[in-house]
A and B are shown apart, each in its own frame.
Chain A
Amino acid sequence: MKRRSILVIDDDQADAELCETALGRVRGSPYAVSRAASAEGGLAAVRSGGVDCVLLDYGLPGADGVSVLKRIRAHDPFLPVVMLSGHGASEIAVQAIQAGAQNYIAKSMIGPDVLHEAITAAIAECSVRRSGPHSAPSVAIVLIIDDSEEDREALVRALDQVHGTGLRCLEAADGMQGIAMIGDHRPDCALLDYSLPGRNGLEILKLIRSVDRFLPVIMLTGQGNEAVAVRAMKAGAQNYLVKSNVTPETLYHAVEVAIQRATLERTVAEQQDRILAQQQELTQTNRLNSTILGGAAYMIVATDIDGIILAFNRAAEAALGYGAAEVIGQCTPMLWHDRGEVARRAAQLSAELGVRVEPDFAALVSTAGGTAIAASEWTLVRRDGRRFPARLSVAPLQDDEGRAVGFVAMMEDITASREMDRLKNEFVSVVSHELRTPLTSIRGSLGLIGATMATELPDKAARLVDVAYRNCERLIALVNDILDIDKIGAGKMRFDIRREDLSALLQQAADANRGIAEKLGVSIALAPVPGDWTVAVDAARLTQILSNLLSNAIKFSTAGQTVELSAEALDQWVRIKVSDRGPGIPPEARHRIFGRFSQVDSSIARQTGGSGLGLHISKELIERMGGRIGFESEVGRGTTFWVDVRPAEAVHGSPPTAPRERASGGSRRVLVCEDDGDIGELIRTILNGAGFDVDVARTLADARRLIRTGRYDAVTLDVTFPFGDGIDLARELDRDPEIERPPCIVVSGTARSTRLPDPADVGLADWLVKPFDPGHLVRAVFRAIAGNGGMESKRASI
């Protein structure tokens, strides 16, 4: 055996001296001793390497043994450490072993044998640990521990006889040597003589077990002794043989079996360790999940594929009034839903999806599929009958093949959030009105001064009035834009999409912005657009968008430059383009262009009295009208913003509806649908008087045919016909994609609420009850044709 290097870490000189001396007296002088007087010194020595084992004093100044031990372990998890202590105490002993010491010795017990044994065992144990589990040996190593040389040789010969070169034998003359060899050579089996000098076989066996749990040991003895046999087996021997009875075959067989069993035991133990670890992990995960479910503020409910509840968290219990135990495994979420609402939603979904959706659990989860999480709003009913609105998000639970095996739903009571929305909308509405009132006076005053009294004012005053007026305009634009955004966001923006003459719209937009352009020395060039191009848009909103783009282009142009406005056909779209030769949009700003208060927009806003929201609003508007918006730009060359709109379908021979400004009847044509001859003539007379051309249809069939020609700007519609209903005709015409139904004014003996309880059902311009006021009728027709009720400004809020 080579000399082992032992490091003694102890601040007490006398104790350290004691250790060194004791180690020096071990037979064969296998140890070289070095000393350190402090924890730091000891750690430094360990780090510099070459130490085979450490004797560590528990009571070092400034640090307790366990913490020093941990630091040693941090450096080398396999360095053998034996803890020494002046005050024996079992708690410290336990701590030490748990912290990773191989052994614990009270200083009063120190002697050469004690140390030798402890160190040998410690080194062997760490060696076994370091090298890990046995691999299947191709050559099995058998270690023979017997003090009699004769007996050892006999055993070697016996084994050799049977197996030839398949086994390798190692010999140790005493227990300690044997243990050391276990550490060094990792034998597959040990043959251990019972009667050894000093420690007997039983004690050595116990020591071996502490070093290697699995090494098969066969106890051998000169005399058969049942008591010894029992104790040996109990102490962990695999077998017990009497030397005088041993034959080569029995010996070999015993070794073979012992090795096999040991392998088996090792495998089982490893499995068990693994299972234990997994169980701990599982427990940990479960604990985590419970905490999440328990602590969540949202109601969380999990169900199987049929809707039977599998999990029901605390928040759900509290919000719905049911205990988890009452519902798990027994009910479906239909328990807290309104059946009527579910039936209605199921019908809606059936229509939308084209498949039948049952009015039960299926309707709640029908749109949850794949990886999508479906969200919808429902009315939930508590146990006590109280109802509240909730948002439901459903996600599917899937197995390994991606099939849905259940659902997980989160529900959130949105009573508060709905109330907040309501308050917010009310607030916005009130504030906007309150802001607009004083703005009226300010703008009015400043505008009048600027317009009518400019010459009477000192120059400075005139300039200041100008500044004030411009900023007042800016404020007004901001208020308008904020309201627009709020309206769009709340889904309250209504678009009146009609067939519009594109050329006229572009002309209007150009004209409206020419003033500002000229003031800056910029000209607007309108490229010619074919006169028969019509587009389906809300004219007021498109004009708003084009004005936004034009004013931006103008502001970014310098005096002498030209802004171009043009239109072209592009696949299924009509693309309107606004181009400038301005500085262009730098790459880093591009992704923010359509955001709120984008920098590009804001800097224009500051110069022009805009709000910084123009492009954002333009994008929202055009997209909600079914169009698209975008831009191309090159720094230093210029920018082109484009807006794509849908071309309106041409209807044979019909003139496009002209923009709204006409106040007189002109050549407007009205179709009167009325089966009663006298009433029909009366209406014809009234409308002729107002300057309209009038045709009368006395049957629904005629009405249908004539409306289809597309010749009429408005229709007055009776409700009751001999073989049909005017409202049904209107609905039918709505559904026909080939024609655009002109605005209809119902003139009927029935009240609207009787015939049409849901006003949103069919879009009607007006509903007059007979007998009607002629003036009222005429106004209604004018309003219907004008499209927005007689308002004289293009944009509702300026």
Chain B
Amino acid sequence: MTSELRHILCVDDDDDILEVTKLCLESIGGYRVTSRSSGADIVSVVERAQPDLVLLDVMMPGVDGPATLKLLQQATPPSQVPVVFMTARVQPTEVSEYLGLGAVGVVPKPFDPMQLSDQVASIWRTWQDTRVCLGG
């Protein structure tokens, strides 16, 4: 993992959202985007693609967002990739729950296409700052 955000992995069961998000992050943010519609095989996907950040939908059938995150955390070795949840459910209690699970940030839906890249970048920077002090 580098200290620059270049490659983002998006996981969402809604293909339209995947497409829009990808276009958004690519054309406005200039990032490289890989899309998956399920979190079931997240561990191998992350291993192969090596993204700098994972943008993860919460409400998905089968393996939902939190479960996907858990898969990453329980892999051997545990994945260190930062995970950001994207969701329409953003009550304050829900947000701190997500963070408590280990996510580094939350992006609410519907997002503003003009803001999304900045939001993700901002979360990345904060996370970087906390990582630095851990010497990792």
Q: Which residues of A contact B (CB under 8 A)?
A: 429, 432-433, 436-445, 447-448, 451-452, 476, 492, 494, 663-665, 686, 689-691, 774-775, 778-779, 782-783, 788-793, 796-798
Q: Which residues of B contact A (CB under 8 A)?
A: 14, 16-17, 19-21, 23-24, 27-28, 59, 88-92, 95-96, 99, 104-115, 119, 122-123, 125-126, 129-135
**Least CB distance, B98 to chain A, in whole angstroms:** 8
Q: Given A663-B122, A791-B106, are A775 and B99 also a contact pair (CB < 8 Å)?
A: no
A436, A441, A664, A793: the one within 8 Å of B20 (CB)? A441
Closest to A692 in B: B133
Interchain CA distance A499-B33 in the complex, whole Å: 41
Interchain CA distance A171-B90 in the complex, whole Å: 107
Contacts of B19 in A (CB 8 A): 441
Q: Given A441-B20, A444-B24, are A476 and B110 also a contact pair (CB < 8 Å)?
A: yes
Contacts of A789 in B (CB 8 A): 92, 95-96, 99, 106
Interchain CA distance A344-B20 in the complex, whole Å: 55
Closest 4 CB pairs of A and B: A689-B133, A444-B20, A447-B113, A436-B88
B134→A775 contact, CB < 8 A? yes
Interchain CA distance A796-B106 in the complex, whole Å: 10
A443→B112 contact, CB < 8 A? yes
Contacts of B106 in A (CB 8 A): 789-791
A792→B107 contact, CB < 8 A? yes
Interchain CA distance A698-B14 in the complex, whole Å: 53
A441→B122 contact, CB < 8 A? no
Interchain CA distance A782-B96 in the complex, whole Å: 13
**Least CB distance, A507 to chain B, in whole angstroms:** 19
A448→B109 contact, CB < 8 A? no
A443→B28 contact, CB < 8 A? no
B113→A451 contact, CB < 8 A? yes
Interchain CA distance A441-B115 in the complex, whole Å: 14
Contacts of A664 in B (CB 8 A): 129
A782→B130 contact, CB < 8 A? yes
Closest to A493 in B: B92
B110→A436 contact, CB < 8 A? yes
A451→B92 contact, CB < 8 A? no
**Least CB distance, B129 to chain A, in whole angstroms:** 6
A440→B130 contact, CB < 8 A? no
B28→A440 contact, CB < 8 A? no
**Least CB distance, B102 to chain A, in whole angstroms:** 9
Contacts of A451 in B (CB 8 A): 28, 113-114
Q: Given A663-B122, A663-B126, A789-B96, are A440 and B110 also a contact pair (CB < 8 Å)?
A: yes
Contacts of B135 in A (CB 8 A): 689
A778→B107 contact, CB < 8 A? no
A788→B95 contact, CB < 8 A? yes
A790→B110 contact, CB < 8 A? no
**Least CB distance, A468 to chain B, in whole angstroms:** 14
B16, B109, B113, B129: the one within 8 Å of A663 (CB)? B129
Q: Given A444-B21, A783-B99, are A691 and B88 also a contact pair (CB < 8 Å)?
A: no
Interchain CA distance A396-B23 in the complex, whole Å: 68
Interchain CA distance A779-B104 in the complex, whole Å: 8
**Least CB distance, B110 to chain A, in whole angstroms:** 4
Contacts of A452 in B (CB 8 A): 27-28
A439→B110 contact, CB < 8 A? yes
A782→B111 contact, CB < 8 A? no
**Least CB distance, A602 to chain B, in whole angstroms:** 23
B133→A686 contact, CB < 8 A? yes
Interchain CA distance A494-B115 in the complex, whole Å: 26
Interchain CA distance A689-B20 in the complex, whole Å: 39
Q: 25 pairs across A/B with beta carbons < 8 Å?
A: A437-B88, A438-B16, A440-B14, A443-B113, A444-B24, A444-B111, A448-B20, A448-B27, A448-B28, A448-B113, A451-B28, A663-B126, A665-B129, A689-B132, A690-B130, A779-B99, A779-B130, A790-B105, A791-B90, A791-B108, A792-B119, A793-B108, A793-B119, A796-B108, A797-B90
A775→B130 contact, CB < 8 A? yes
Task: Name the residue among B16, B28, B119, B135 with the largest chain A CB count within 10 angstroms.
Answer: B16
Q: Known A-B contacts: A440-B17, A441-B19. Give 10 more (CB < 8 A).
A: A432-B88, A433-B89, A448-B24, A452-B28, A663-B122, A665-B129, A791-B95, A792-B123, A797-B108, A798-B108
B108→A663 contact, CB < 8 A? no
Contacts of A798 in B (CB 8 A): 108, 110, 112
Task: Name the residue among B17, B23, B111, B126 with the largest chain A CB count within 10 angstroms.
Answer: B126
Interchain CA distance A686-B106 in the complex, whole Å: 25
Contacts of B115 in A (CB 8 A): 793
Interchain CA distance A451-B123 in the complex, whole Å: 23
A663→B125 contact, CB < 8 A? yes
A433, A445, A663, A690: the one within 8 Å of B59 (CB)? A433
Q: Given A432-B88, A452-B27, are A774 and B134 also a contact pair (CB < 8 Å)?
A: yes
B23, B107, B109, B133: the one within 8 Å of A690 (CB)? B133
Contacts of B17 in A (CB 8 A): 437, 440-441, 444
